Structures are given as C-alpha cells and as structure tokens.
Chain A
Amino acid sequence: MSNPVLELVEVRKAFGAEVVLEDISIKVPEHTATVLIGASGSGKSTMLRCINLLELIDDGVIKLDGIDITDVSTNPDEIRRKLGMVFQSFNLFPHMKVLENIILAPMRVHGLGKEEATEKALELLTRFGLREKADQYPDRLSGGQQQRVAIIRSLAVEPRLLLLDEVTSALDPVLVNEVLSTVRDLKDHGMTMVLATHEMGFAKQVADEVCFLERGRIIEWGSPSEMLENPKDPRTQDFLKRVHEAGRL
C-alpha cells in the first residue's frame, strides 16, 4: 500500500510546563477524512496547527506523503503550500474583496497569472453558489458565506490535505448546514482531510475514522459507527453523553 497522505508518529507538544499533546499517532490515507472530537481544550486546534507547522512540536515526527516535514531542514512555507487550513473564526482578510482573498495565494505563492487565478477562483465561487459575492468585502457576507469563502480560499491552491478547525462553531445554527454541505461535497470529490468538530451527526456522515482526544491524548479511535454508537472507553461514552445532552447529536 502506498504512503498515507499524513502520518503523525508519537507527537508531543507542550506550552511551557503544560503538555498539550502527548503520544499522538494517526494515519490519514488518501481520499479519507479523519475527524477529531473531544472537549474544548483537549488539544484539537493545537494538533491541526502542529500539522500545519504553525506550532513547532516537541517530539515525534509528522510525515506528509512519507516525507518528514518536522525535519529542521524543511522550509515551512513550502509545506504549507501543500496544505489548506480553515479556521473557526474564518480569518478572511477584511481589506480585500472576496475574489482578492481567493487569488492572493495562487498569484503570490504559486505564481499564477492574474487572469488564470481569477478564472479558477470564479469557477470555485460558482461551484459553491457564491459567484455574485466575488466583488464584495467580507464584512458584507453572512458568517456562513464568509466561512465558505474561507474554504474556497484554501481550496484555490489545490491542497494535498485540508485541515478544518471547528469551521461551524462560530456560526448561528441556521448557517451551519450550508458550510457542512460544502465540506461534504469536498469529501465526495475525494479531498483528504483532518477536521475538528463538535457536530457529531456530521462527523458520522463524513468521517472514515474518528479520534477522541482528552487532555492531549487519543483515548480511542475507530470507524464513526463504532466510535459514536458503541464507544468502549468510559471517557468517550461520557463525552458523547454530554454532547448528546447539549443537543448536538
């Protein structure tokens, strides 16, 4: 079998004395989605930020397509070119129009001409029903639209792997679905991804594997049906019960 797109081997991360990730090992094969679940503060965002090299890990190895990206000689900019990341808080650039947000990286990082970049961006916007927002500034868009633009922005560089960090957590409940269906669409088109979410129903739909994190450790992992319906570890059961009570299942 070929290399998984992403592999983490015994990754550890601490902020000062606080160990935030410990002994994290996962494999993400091509065209699959790995979903991270766990309480707030369990280390999901940190894990995604480590994969993206926004944080330096303290031990272990992260491999992209079999190549160690945590080696000190790697250029983080080059690695990030191959990864897309979408944040909970969208982080669109407020001083740029939607289209400008999307073509920035293709032009400046990947050397596309303006026309080519624009054409591709408009194609993506059309595909996700946002064509008429191309010339608007982000603050004119609803939260759901902003988040979809952020997803498109990260897709525009044709990433090898997409990292999604609680992309619906900052949205009104009525706007959650449009973003989730965008992500589902990407999954159906074969995008490889790692995502953190609190939406268990959604996790069940897109995940090939679900990992439950608690205090920086992967307590339990498995297929979505095993994990979400018959978790073995009492801590996973307890977490799901609490999520269920909060009405998110």
Chain B
Amino acid sequence: MSQEVGRSNGGNSGAAPYSFGGEWQPSPIELGRRASRKAKSRRNGLIAALSSLLVLGTLAIVVVTSPGWKVLSATFFDWGYGFEVLPKILTGFFQSNVILTLIAATSVGILGLTIALIRTSRSPALTPFRILATGYVDAFRGIPMLLIILLVGFGIPALQIRGVTNDVFVLGIIAVIITYSAYVAEVIRSGILTVHPSQRAAARSLGLSNFQTLRYVVLPQALRRVTPPLLNDLVALIKDTGLVSILGVTDAIRAAQIETSRTFNYTPYVMAALVFLIVTIPLTRYTDRTLRKSIERQNAQGQA
C-alpha cells in the first residue's frame, strides 16, 4: 500500500498526467491528499535519519572506545603509511588487474558466446563440438579457479614446450579466461533458452534462416536479458584477477603483500581493498540499476 502511494507520488511530481485543455486545477480533495502525502514522507525521512544516527553512532562509539582500538587502528588504518604505498598499489592495479580484466572480459565474452551457441545449436554437424562444449563447461565450472591458475601457471612452464610462453602474466590471463568462459557460456545459454519458441517461429515464418533468426531475433533478446548477471560476473572477474598474484604477478594485492611483509603493518591491504572498492561499487550500483530496469521492461511486456 505504502509502495502504491510512493509510486503515484513520484508520477505526479512533474506535469499532471491528464489536463483537459489546460484548464484542470487540482480539486481541494487532491490538494489535501498531496499535503498529507508530503507530511507523511517528511515524517518518514525524519524517522529514518534519527534511527540511522542512533544505531550507527552507537556502533562507532563502541568500536572506537573498545580497548583494542588503538592497536587495531595503528596496524590497519595508518593512513600516512597507506598513502605512502598507494602509488605502488595503484601501479599494480592498473598494470595488472585492469589490463587483465580488459583482456579477459573481451576474450571471455567471445569464447562464452561461442560455447553457448554451440551448446544451443541443433545442427548434426556440430554434435562433436556440442559434446566437447558440454564437457568443458561441466569441468571448469566444477574446479576452483585457484587450482586452474596453479595448473596453468606452474604446470605449463614445467612442460618446457618450445614456443609456449612462460610469462606468468599471460598464463594467468589464460587461466582466468578458461574458468570464466565456462560460467559466462552458461549464463548466455540460459538467456537463449528463455526466448520464447514463438519468437523463433515468427522469424522462421518470415523466411529468416536459422542463423538470421539467431542473429536478429533470439540473441538480441537473450543478451538483453542476461546483462545484469553478466555485469555481476564482471565484478567478480575484477576481484578474481587478484588471484593471479599467486603466480608472482605484481598486481595490487601482491604489491600490498610485499609492503606488508616488510613492515608488518596491514594498512597496504586495506588500501588495496579500497582501490578495488572504488571500481566495484559503482559497477554493482550500475548492475542493480540495469537489473531493476530489465525487470520493469519484462513486466511491461507481460501486461501488453
């Protein structure tokens, strides 16, 4: 009920939806309703502010006045030291995590889409590829990524094959791509499967080929639907690029670790965490927004 009121409130904030020749004036009843809605929302705002202040304030006081706080803040929140090491962390972040994310995200998109298309196709010629794709997805969704990174990062150099790189950065990217493609392929495949068969029938009955139907009708709808979960995977990918630090890639986490092991102060880790947050928080907010929009769009379609 209160939601109902909230929404119509928002809708009325601009011009009135109905105006009969511009002569419409809100009736006294409507004016009364608006006034009491406004009063109510002011009261709600006040309650929210007061209760937040009370709860969060109490929490802050309890933490700061607790006996261990001094030691804790010196070891974790030594901001002077933190800003001293920030350039090193940022260098690692931009040179490793960001580059890794960009390269991996692009490759994963292409590979994941390909695997999804193979798995959803019904062409008999693709049968062996379908079997391979299914096996691939089953395997790499089931193995911890850390293991894949260790296997690829240390295992491949151990083979000492000529012409194959020993660069841990490249091997790290490959391991990330292998794992994430399996996830993304499944997300895209689920999107393809949710496009109603009647859409396919309509496209085919217009004379579109199987491929054209996929290209112009099925995929655009499928990808639109899976954009929110894909953005979620992107956030996870950004964080997981940190795992390649185990191979010795000097990313933000490794840079922080090097500092920490030197000084036994953990502020560099906190700084690294903040650096990740600066990128991931806007992205998660954006993800939430696209999710909300896509739900609204689907609801609108359901009503039509």
Interface residues of A, Cβ cutoff 8 Å to B: 49, 52, 54, 76-78, 80-81, 83-85, 87, 89, 91-95, 104-105, 108-110, 138-139, 141, 143, 146, 150, 153-154, 157
CB distance from A137 to the nearest CB of B (A): 9
**Chain B residues, Cβ within 8 Å of A91:** 198-199, 201-202
Q: A49-B201, A93-B202, A108-B208 are in contact. List 14 more A-B contacts (CB 8 A).
A: A77-B204, A77-B207, A80-B204, A80-B207, A83-B205, A85-B202, A87-B202, A93-B221, A104-B216, A105-B206, A108-B212, A139-B297, A139-B301, A154-B205
Which 5 A/B pairs are nearest by Cβ-Cβ distance? A91-B202, A81-B207, A105-B206, A85-B205, A109-B207
The winner among B199, B204, B205, B208 for most chain A CB atoms within 10 A is: B205
Tell me what chain B mostly uses at the interface: helix, strand, loop, or mixed.
Answer: helix
**Chain A residues, Cβ within 8 Å of B205:** 52, 54, 80, 83-85, 154
Indicate if B165 sits at the interface (CB-CB under 8 A): no
Are A80 and B206 neighbours in the complex by a CB distance under 8 Å? yes
CB distance from A36 to the nearest CB of B (A): 17
A139 vs B224: C-alpha distance in the bound complex, in angstroms?
16
Are A153 and B206 neighbours in the complex by a CB distance under 8 Å? yes
Are A94 and B201 neighbours in the complex by a CB distance under 8 Å? no
**Chain B residues, Cβ within 8 Å of A108:** 208, 212, 216
Indicate if B209 sits at the interface (CB-CB under 8 A): yes
Indicate if B71 sits at the interface (CB-CB under 8 A): no
Q: Return the CB mask of B66-87 against A: 1 if under 8 Å, else 0.
A: 0000000000000000000000
**Chain B residues, Cβ within 8 Å of A141:** 304
**Chain A residues, Cβ within 8 Å of B216:** 93, 104, 108
Interface residues of B, Cβ cutoff 8 Å to A: 198-199, 201-209, 212, 216-217, 220-221, 224, 297, 300-301, 303-304
Are A143 and B304 neighbours in the complex by a CB distance under 8 Å? yes
- Name the residue on B nearest A153 (C-beta): B206
**Chain B residues, Cβ within 8 Å of A83:** 205
The winner among A54, A83, A139, A150 for most chain B CB atoms within 10 A is: A139
**Chain A residues, Cβ within 8 Å of B301:** 94, 139
The winner among A77, A94, A150 for most chain B CB atoms within 10 A is: A94
CB distance from A81 to the nearest CB of B (A): 4
A141 vs B300: C-alpha distance in the bound complex, in angstroms?
11
A92 vs B203: C-alpha distance in the bound complex, in angstroms?
9
**Chain B residues, Cβ within 8 Å of A77:** 204, 207-209
- Name the residue on B nearest A81 (C-beta): B207
CB distance from A60 to the nearest CB of B (A): 21
Are A89 and B198 neighbours in the complex by a CB distance under 8 Å? yes
In the complex, 19 of the A-B residue pairs with CB atoms within 8 angstroms, ordered by the A residue number, are: A54-B204, A77-B209, A80-B204, A80-B206, A80-B207, A81-B207, A83-B205, A87-B201, A89-B198, A92-B202, A110-B207, A139-B300, A139-B301, A139-B304, A141-B304, A143-B304, A150-B202, A154-B206, A157-B206
- Knowing A77-B207, A105-B206 are in contact, say whether A95-B224 is a contact too (CB < 8 A): yes
A138 vs B202: C-alpha distance in the bound complex, in angstroms?
15
**Chain B residues, Cβ within 8 Å of A95:** 220-221, 224
A172 vs B304: C-alpha distance in the bound complex, in angstroms?
12
Are B221 and A94 neighbours in the complex by a CB distance under 8 Å? yes
CB distance from B75 to the nearest CB of A (A): 54
**Chain B residues, Cβ within 8 Å of A49:** 201
**Chain A residues, Cβ within 8 Å of B209:** 77
- Name the residue on A nearest B203 (C-beta): A93
A108 vs B297: C-alpha distance in the bound complex, in angstroms?
27
A104 vs B212: C-alpha distance in the bound complex, in angstroms?
10
- Name the residue on B nearest A85 (C-beta): B205
CB distance from B191 to the nearest CB of A (A): 13
- Knowing A94-B221, A95-B220, A95-B221 are in contact, say whether A105-B207 is a contact too (CB < 8 A): yes
A76 vs B207: C-alpha distance in the bound complex, in angstroms?
8
**Chain A residues, Cβ within 8 Å of B202:** 85, 87, 91-93, 150
